[in-house]
Structure 1
């Protein structure tokens, strides 16, 4: 009885405390009808035939793909860095039509990125099904929360995953391999032993035996299997993202090499034993775009970080990351997930077309029908995504940054409300914003916002974000008795007001951002009025990883704060 009374008193105190910080419903920003429309020329110039589909299969910031198969079911995961929830997971029966079924790391007990910068958090997840115990595993590196290398597992990817199990080894990019005899291994990137570093970017691949019962590497079993890369005399850099495959009694080790930018590639080794020695193929790399002319049309670059799977037609396929720079060479859409067929008729697998300029469309596996954008399948090409925020839950494509979406975003009968945190877009903390990935070089995104800021501390609107120190902010705030729509550019942490306009905050405002290659424009309309531009054409340079650094693509966010730091 005493415990029950105590819990009631604690609950009453929490409610009272929250009442002082949570705004009333009428003061919260209300977002309605978000629309994103892609309009890239490449898709207009390359319409699909009945037996074709587009690659990338996941447009926008879906890097470092890994894929596994159980029967007729394929599952694919990607890196998520400081996004929350983490590690988006997709399902397909044919490698063409994909649905997002959720996220692997969707709880704070699994994902602790609240103080992680945009280039930290979750790197290079590997997903693999173990037929010996009918269990799926996802192993990754979490640069946050004191985790390091971790593994989670499940019997059914649709039903949630275990809490993380910390693994006792250093390095990054771990991957599991389950042999035919049931033995298990972990391979990963690591630094050379201390004192044996030969040059900047010198890395190694190590292997451990793995205890499936204890979910831990077996102490003392670690072994170096690749030093530097294919040919250490040429000083290769960043051998990483290893995967082991077994075919016709031989073991194949596939890795990325060259760093994850313009010199990225995929290389292959073989051995008669899972722990080596591994001998590189005579013809490496098996996938790269680094040797091609820089001025090639419809340029795809940075190809690598791949994973292989057998397709529904018995042929092998490889998923990998690459980028599609815009007309000014910017990388605003980030690293995307591509797919290519793989020729494994010889001893070693080779990506078909992977050493030639990568094309925007492919032939579908035999017997497959292209249903992308229909029946709940992820769209690709030029498409429209519209969210009226009318369902019981947020679409999986909406992500938070460093903390759960549910802590600030609520879908109501009228639309989406955001209960603003006292943090800003400039801080390395959880922020009250929902983000949608930029997926095209040419796009239009718009939302209707009903909002009357109560004080100068309040602001809500749209952000175009690369990271906490590089972004555009387009929002409504207050100065004295007047309300303003303000456009602010932040570059390397320095913020500048580009333009502002006094508005009637009692009338909902349509906020719109458009991009054509590297030119971004921010527009607004009230009532039945036409859109007006604020600030003119602005460079998208600060939304590109080649300027801002890091590994993520640009994000379009619905943002609110009660700690506004925009100085009008």
Structure 2
């Protein structure tokens, strides 16, 4: 089944359920709540090392005038970008990850630092009972120069919230609580005209009784009142019906963004679903309310017409946003995937960038319709500082976390709830996880710190100090695509013995693949290693040699292809007092 078809059935079902339920720096502080109880029995992770080793980077070393694409590796989908002066800000979808909507800053579109998350409080993000691929969809960030305010508008598929907006004068100083918006549909974005007026465009269903085929959607526009932060009732209008050519039954016109250039209005949208027919298309009008005429050269970005077996394949390109870069040159950020040798997508939808040629009437992504390359030329005057001076690394890199800082890096996330609820950082080094009475397979907040898988080939190693007391105790590593698809590699107790085990969960059904008695009186090293679709799990006792447990296992269940949804695989430091994995 193609991913685009998966999306139709998933989203239509989800939206039906949802409608019934409607009733500065590179680090973030994690402070212990008074409700947390530190215990000698709580597992402590004293080190985490992630190493990426993809062939594409070794075979394509950078020249002095080059940088790697994607600019954000791992699960950073649905990028949106805005500019204030020489400052660029970029956000991504975060679904049920907590905190939500990672936000990044750059002065040159190449070197990026994460400055935090837009939704970092429980008053903003209410995803406690949301599935992994629910929560926050397709955030849009825009700066309004007329009131010197940043807006982030999105759809929160949780807790009856729906479409919402938050605001700030300074992205480094936090964002407001959500303002619920009074319209249906998904993927809203906001546009500020040069006369001070504001508009919202979004994806919606056709008018009742006018749906022509499965995947038929429309783009709608509303006038927006900046004083009340609400759409103006009665101002809505459908400006695109179906897509570029409704006679061809285009599917899932979505992710709209409105721009103005040379007195004309340009509407850019994704079309074709999020799978292998994904693309970006463009329309033009003399008015923000249309009529919008499609470009004769659509799509302006897509990889769908290319040979499936091409080397270093980048695919599923779309869901883009444009910004004017340094020197007046336009650039577009967008999502795409890099499948492994089995064509499985484990690292998720990532954020890419391409220069955009807007010398003619319509913009077009440069080299966006031919096989994309893994590296690009630097913009004039820009120096590649990725991985240096606090900027995010790219290509093959090693990330080492010794947990000696009082703050956790922004790259560490929770699932459905704050990290502060279960994390304590020891002054002597190491992070202690206070286990919830919740299993990794439950749709609840889980006591696990997650790091995104960012390469096809990687090794993730941690050192765990833990002595479980009862069979319900378990701590270790998880490879997690969702609550129904994951691997658990952990230490637990059976009667008087301590065991290490490997559990595979596929469609919610769990099987113990292997187990072994171990001595956990001293720290145990745990490691997961992936070579494309082949994963292996190993451990070391008393600083001895690594021993494999369970042989080579398939990473298929960690892929979007098998698990569905819209996220990428996560590597977790996990603890629970509700263990259900019992070796025989």
How far 1:25 sits from its partner (Å)?
Answer: 2.3
Deviations 1:403-447 (A, max 9, x none): 000000111123100000000000000000000000000000000
How far 1:528 sits from its partner (Å)?
Answer: 2.5
**Counterpart mapping for 1:255-294 below 5 A:** 255-294=269-308
TM-score (norm 1): 0.96
**Counterpart mapping for 1:289-368 below 5 A:** 289-368=303-382
Contact 1:111–1:145, Cα closer than 8 Å, also in 2:
no
CA separation of 1:210/1:528 partners in 2, compared to 1, >3 Å: closer, same or farther?
same
Match in the other structure for 2:163: 149
Distance 1:23 1:548 in 2: 35
Deviations 1:128-155 (A, max 9, x none): 0000000000000000021100000000
Distance 1:422 1:519 in 2: 31
Match in the other structure for 1:164: 178
TM-score (norm 2): 0.93
How far 1:23 sits from its partner (Å)?
Answer: 5.6
Q: Please state if 1:89 is matched with 2:129.
A: no
How far 1:498 sits from its partner (Å)?
Answer: 0.5
Any unmatched runs of 5+ in structure 1? 1-13
Q: Please state if 1:481 is matched with 2:496.
A: yes
CA separation of 1:337/1:27 partners in 2, compared to 1, >3 Å: closer, same or farther?
same
How far 1:313 sits from its partner (Å)?
Answer: 2.7
Distance 1:260 1:538 in 2: 28
Distance 1:319 1:91 in 2: 14
Tell me which of 55, 67, 92 is aligned to 1:53.
67
Q: Please state if 1:194 is matched with 2:208.
A: yes
Q: Please state if 1:449 is matched with 2:464.
A: yes
How many residue pairs align between the two structures? Answer: 550
Deviations 1:501-524 (A, max 9, x none): 100110110000000000000000
Q: Please state if 1:499 is matched with 2:514.
A: yes
Distance 2:379 2:532 in 1: 32
Deviations 1:309-365 (A, max 9, x none): 011132100000000000111100000000000000100000001000011000011
Tell me which of 495, 509, 526 is aligned to 2:524.
509
Match in the other structure for 1:543: 558
1:221 aligned counterpart, secondary structure: coil
Q: Please state if 1:99 is matched with 2:113.
A: yes
Match in the other structure for 2:233: 219
Tell me which of 160, 169, 174 is aligned to 2:188.
174
**Counterpart mapping for 1:453-472 below 5 A:** 453-472=468-487
Q: Please state if 1:27 is matched with 2:48.
A: no
Contact 1:333–1:440, Cα closer than 8 Å, also in 2:
yes
Distance 2:424 2:233 in 1: 47
Contact 2:272–2:279, Cα closer than 8 Å, also in 1:
yes
Match in the other structure for 2:416: 402
Contact 2:471–2:582, Cα closer than 8 Å, also in 1:
no
2:163 aligned counterpart, secondary structure: strand
How far 1:24 sits from its partner (Å)?
Answer: 4.8
How far 1:299 sits from its partner (Å)?
Answer: 0.5
Deviations 1:356-392 (A, max 9, x none): 0011000011000000000110011000111000111
Match in the other structure for 1:420: 435
Match in the other structure for 1:433: 448
Deviations 1:1-46 (A, max 9, x none): xxxxxxxxxxxxx98xx6xxx6652111000110000000000011
Contact 2:38–2:434, Cα closer than 8 Å, also in 1:
no
Structure 1 stretches of at least 4 aligned residues deviating more than 2 Å after TM superposition: 22-25
Contact 1:315–1:342, Cα closer than 8 Å, also in 2:
yes
Distance 2:166 2:394 in 1: 30
1:44 aligned counterpart, secondary structure: helix
1:266 aligned counterpart, secondary structure: strand
Deviations 1:183-223 (A, max 9, x none): 00000000001100000000000000000010000000000
Distance 1:484 1:96 in 2: 47
Any unmatched runs of 5+ in structure 2? 1-32
Match in the other structure for 1:8: none
Match in the other structure for 2:398: 384
Match in the other structure for 1:237: 251
Contact 1:140–1:174, Cα closer than 8 Å, also in 2:
yes
